[in-house]
Each structure stands twice: as structure tokens, then as C-alpha cells.
Amino acid sequence: MIPPQEASVRRREIEDKLKQEEETLSFIRDSLEKSDQLTKNMVSILSSFESRLMKLENSIIPVHKQTENLQRLQENVEKTLSCLDHVISYYHVASDTEKIIREGPTGRLEEYLGCMAKIQKAVEYFQDNNPDSPELNRVKFLFERGKESLESEFRSLMTRHSKVVSPVLILDLISGEDDMEAQDDMTLDHLSENVLHDVIRISRWLVEYGRNQDFMNVYYQIRSSQLDRSIKGLKEHFRKSNSSSGVPYSPAIPNKRKDTPTKKPVKRPGHEHDFRVKHLSEALNDKHGPLAGRDDMLDMEIDAYIHCVSAFVKLAQSEYQLLMDIIPEHHQKKTFDSLIQDALDGLMMEGENIVSVARKAIIRHDYSAVLTVFPILRHLKQTKPEFDQVLQGTAASTKNKLPGLITSMETIGAKALEDFADNIKNDPDKEYNMPKDGTVHELTSNAILFLQQLLDFQETAGAMLASQETSSSATSYNSEFSKRLLSTYICKVLGNLQLNLLSKSKVYEDPALRAIFLHNNYNYILKSLEKSELIHLVAVTQKTAERSYRDHIEQQIQTYQRSWLKVTDYISEKNLPVFQPGVKLRDKERQMIKERFKGFNDGLEELCKIQKAWAIPDTEQRDKIRQAQKTIVKENYGAFLHRYASVPFTKNPEKYIKYRVEQVADMIERLFDTSA
């Protein structure tokens, strides 16, 4: 049970709270009524605003559309005015550019090309919009005149600034191949940078806008002339150098030149040493005879041609580098082909002339002229890879010119080799042409000299011989095959020479002189083979060649020694009278001894007189033969004197005992010595 007092308090609290809630409810009602009233007022305002906004929109939209139309009209007017200005400008192009076009592009190329661009646009406008306009003809005329002026300027620039390359610069360029440090500096600037820039700009304009290719013909004609003249100038340089100093000179690097350089021979391109073609008739003489001048001239011609070939390669490479900047890519090969034709044809014609001269020389059996083919052919084959690289993309007829010349030279060279071998074999036995002293025959010295010359051109000569081979082995040509062919050829020449010498030796009636002649020639051949290392080449196919020659030489020495038998037979022991000391000789025995002494004396004097005029040029062989003969004669004569000098076979011993042993030895010592 809740006490009455607490219940009363609780009821009073509840009543107070209820009263508060009623007051709150009353406040909420009042607020809702006010809110409803405000909402109604706001709806009324918004409705009024919407109505007014619709009225405003209906009034503004027509005004906006009208304004937009006015703006469009204004833009159209501005565009029309701009187009009118543009069109009107085409009517002024002719008058604005006529003076510049008339004066030409010299000195103001960029400005001139700018005017040409304006004229071209005017031509295009009138052709599209007003083809009957007189202005079209006027701007067309200006365009054609401007194009002609540009073509003329191109020709003028190329003509004025294309210079012949000096011989000294060409020689520096060639010699720079072996100098890697100098090679980078050894470039040819055919045109200055400014001129090259103008030429390139004109060529590009003519191709792109001028629709003209005639300038390419102008280009190759001018550059072709300069290339040809540069090579001819180099050849003339050699000719003048030969007539004045005899040695063309070029410093290796331009910036190393001195005021007084030490002159030295220019090495042939690709050659390790300088080759001198010697005239065969000078084989036994110093090179100071009447033919020496011809020999120097021949050598100069070889040097000049070889240098001109190398110069062509270098200059052609340089021309192609220049051409790539100026001529459009798809016209470069054709233009280059035309550009090099004159210079290339000149080289090929000169090469064919060399072949022709060699062919005539073969008919005359003049093999010195034929030898000019060897160094030239070797250089052509060494240079061929560079030639092929330079001529890439040219016509087949152009590419085949050098191989054709090489084939011609190989053919004539092989013909010369075979003809020379036949000539050695068939050289006639002319008595008046035989050396009276039995020395080395001119045919031998000529043959050996010719073979020695081939040493410098082993591969070239081998290739010549291989080019004429029809066997399957020739198709697989290599250096070893070439070497064997050349060895076989040399052995053939030596065999022919030996047969001819045997035939020629029969001209001598005296067998001893015949033996001396063959000895001298065989010895000369052997010593020459050994000295020039020809013996190694011979040994490729004939291992016993050296021993064979030594046997031949020894055989001839023995034949010669038999000539002394008619002297030594008189004093040999056979058929000599046998006597006892103190026993008086019979008349028959005394007469026999006298005849032996007289026969020996007469034979000795006769042989010494005859053989004194004979010659053995080789000092070693001469001493060897003398010594051997002295030994034989001294032994026999010494024994003979020892036996009969004290025998009383005559009242006048000095009449028969004319020589002491030492005197006989001295007489033999003076054999083969025409100066004694």
C-alpha cells in the first residue's frame, strides 16, 4: 500500500505534466496554422513568377534569334571581304613579282623561290576559277620565265664552281689509302657549302614544282667533263714530270708539305715495290744505252695509266657522294652512269690501245712492250672490287667494260707467253749472231730476264695461263693451280732454251768452245734461277731441275777438259821409251822424246792462244776450271820433266824444254782472260 501522502504528491506531478503537454499541443497547432498560411502565400507568389517568366521568354526568344541572324550576316560579310582581298591579291601577283623574276635569282635565291611560290598559286587559282582571264597568261609567262632563270642559275653555278681536281690533290688522295690518319682529311669538296646549298634548293624546286629533268642532263654533262679533264690532267702531269724531273711527286698529306720537300718516287697504288720494265736487248748492258729513254717513257706510261685507274675510282666515288645530295634518288644511278661514261671510256680505250700495242709487239717478237700488260692487269684485278662497288646500279654495259678489258689483257698476255716460249724454241741458229768467245748468248739472257720479270706477277701470269685452259681443273682456279701452271710454263721455256742452245752450239767447229758455250749458258741459267728464286717456282713441278743443271755444267767441263788431251797425251807415260840410267839412247828414242816435247809445247801454245780469247764470265767457275786444268797439266808435265829433263836426248835442250812447270801453270792461269 502506497501511503496517502505519496499518492497525493504523485497525482499532483502528473497533473502538472499533463498541463504542460496540453500547452505544447496548443503551440504546435498554432504553428501548423501559420505554416499553412505561409505555404499558401508562397504558392501564390511562385504562380505569379511563372506567369511573368513565360511572358518574358515569349518576348526575348525572337530578339535572340534576330541577333544571331545579324551575327551570321556580319561573319559572311567579313569572309566575303577576305575572299575578295585574296582574289584581288592574285591580280597583283604579276606586278608584284615581275621585277624580281626579270632580274633573276642570283644572290637572292630564297626571295626568288618565294616569288615563284606566289606565281604558282596564282596560276592554280586562275586555272581553277577563271581560265579565260588574261591574268592567267601573264602569270604563266612569269612562271615559265622564272623556271628558265632557275635552270640557267643551276647551269651557271655548276659551270662556275665545278673545278678540275689538281693532279697533286689526286695523288694525295690515292696515296692517302695507306695512311689511315690522313685518309679522313683526304676528302674532295667539289662545291663550297653555300653553292651546294643553292644547287640543292634549285634542283629540288625543279623536280617538285618545275616538273623538269633537263637539269640532270646539265649536271652530268658538266661533272662528266670535269671528271674526264681531271684524269687527263693527271696523265699530263706524269708526262711533264717525266720530261723535267723524271719523278712525279706528291706529298702524302697536304698539311705536311714543306717548301722544299724531299722528292721520292710515288708508289703505284696497291704495289709493294716499283717495277721497272727493262728492254730485253739490254739484258747484258747497263741501262744507259740508246734504248734507256724509251724504257723510261714506257715505264712512265705504265705508272700514268695505273694512277689514272685508281684516280677514276676515287673521283667516281666522290662524284657519287656529291650527286646523292643534288639528284633525286630514283634518278641517281642513271645520272651517275651517264656522268662517268667519258672518263671510263677513255680508260678502257687506252687499255685496249695497250692491248693493241702488245699484239703488234708479239708479231715483232718485242716482248718488252708485252710486259707492260702485266703490271696494268695486276692493278686492274686488284682494283676490280672497288670498281664493282662504284658501278653498282649502273647499266650492264657499263659494269662489263672492266671485265672485258681484263679478259682482253689476259688473252693477249697468254698469247705473249706462249709466243715467247715458241720464239725461244725456234730462234734461228745464225752464225754471225753467236758470241765468238763462247760467252752467254743474248737469247739466254733475254729468256731469263723475261722469266725474272714474271716473278713480280706470278698470280697475274698464272691467271693468264689459266684463262686459256679448257680443262675442268681451270674452272676451279686457285693460287696453287696458278702456281703450277706458271711453273710448268717456266720449265717449258727453260726446256726450249736448252734445246735451242744445243742446236746453236753446233755452229762452233771446236768441241771445246762448244762445251764452254754450253757451260756458260747453263751456269748463267742456274745462277739466275737461284739468285731470283725462280728455282723455287721451277721446283713446284720439277724437283730435280737444280741437280740436272749442275750435271749438265759438270758434263761440259769434262768435255772441255778433253780438249787438253792432245796436249797431255804427248807427255803421258804410255808409249814413252824405257831406258836404263847411263845407257846411251838410240836415235829413235831421242827423236821420240823430241817429238813429245815439241808436241806438248806446240799444243800448249796453240790452246793457250785460242782459249785466251774465250770467256767464262763467272769468276768462281773460271777459277774452278783453271785450277782443275792446272792440276792435271802440272802433274803430267812435272812427271814428264822429272823423267826427261836430265836425259841427254838433244844438244839444245832449251829448244825443247821451253817451259818450267810454274810457267805452264801461269799460262793456264791466263786462260779466258781477254785483258791479259
The string of pLDDT tens digits covering residues 29-84 is 888 888 888 988 888 888 888 888 887 878 788 877 777 777 777 677 657 645 55
pLDDT value at 279 more than 70:
no
The string of pLDDT tens digits covering residues 442-494 is 999 999 999 998 888 888 888 888 888 755 444 445 778 888 999 999 999 99
HSE, CB side, 13 Å, CA atoms: give it for residue 321: 11
Q: Look at residue 86 in the predicted model and tell me its pLDDT.
A: 53
CB 531 within 8 A of CB 557: no
Average pLDDT over residues 394-407: 93
pLDDT value at 518 more than 50:
yes
DSSP letters, 450-469, are: HHHHHHTTHHHHHHHHHHT-
Cell of 533: 728464286
Dist CA 447 CA 365 (whole Å): 12
Of the ranges 134-138, 583-587, 615-619, 652-656, the best mean pLDDT one: 615-619
The amino acid that residue 249 corresponds to is Y
CB 486 within 8 A of CB 461: yes
Q: Look at residue 577 in the predicted model and tell me its pLDDT.
A: 63
Q: Look at residue 522 in the predicted model and tell me its pLDDT.
A: 96
pLDDT value at 278 more than 60:
no
Q: Look at residue 233 in the predicted model and tell me its pLDDT.
A: 93
CA distances from 560 to 514, 557, 622, 625, 673 (A): 8, 5, 12, 9, 16
Q: Look at residue 283 in the predicted model and tell me its pLDDT.
A: 37
Q: What is the CA radius of gyration of the chain?
A: 56
Dist CA 147 CA 161 (whole Å): 21
Average pLDDT over residues 209-219: 85
Q: Look at residue 77 in the predicted model and tell me its pLDDT.
A: 63
pLDDT value at 249 more than 60:
no
- DSSP assignment letter at 266: P
pLDDT value at 675 more than 70:
no
pLDDT value at 642 more than 70:
yes
Least confident of 88-92, 393-397, 459-463, 494-498: 88-92
Percent of the chain residues topping a pLDDT of 90? 43
pLDDT value at 317 more than 60:
yes
Least confident of 471-480, 518-527, 657-666: 471-480
The count of residues in the chain is 676
Q: Look at residue 134 in the predicted model and tell me its pLDDT.
A: 81
Other beta carbons within 10 Å of 483? 16
Percent of the chain residues topping a pLDDT of 70? 84
The string of pLDDT tens digits covering residues 295-313 is 567 778 888 999 999 999 9
Average pLDDT, the chain: 82
pLDDT value at 246 more than 80:
no
The string of pLDDT tens digits covering residues 159-199 is 999 999 999 999 988 886 555 444 444 567 888 899 999 99
CB 355 within 8 A of CB 408: yes
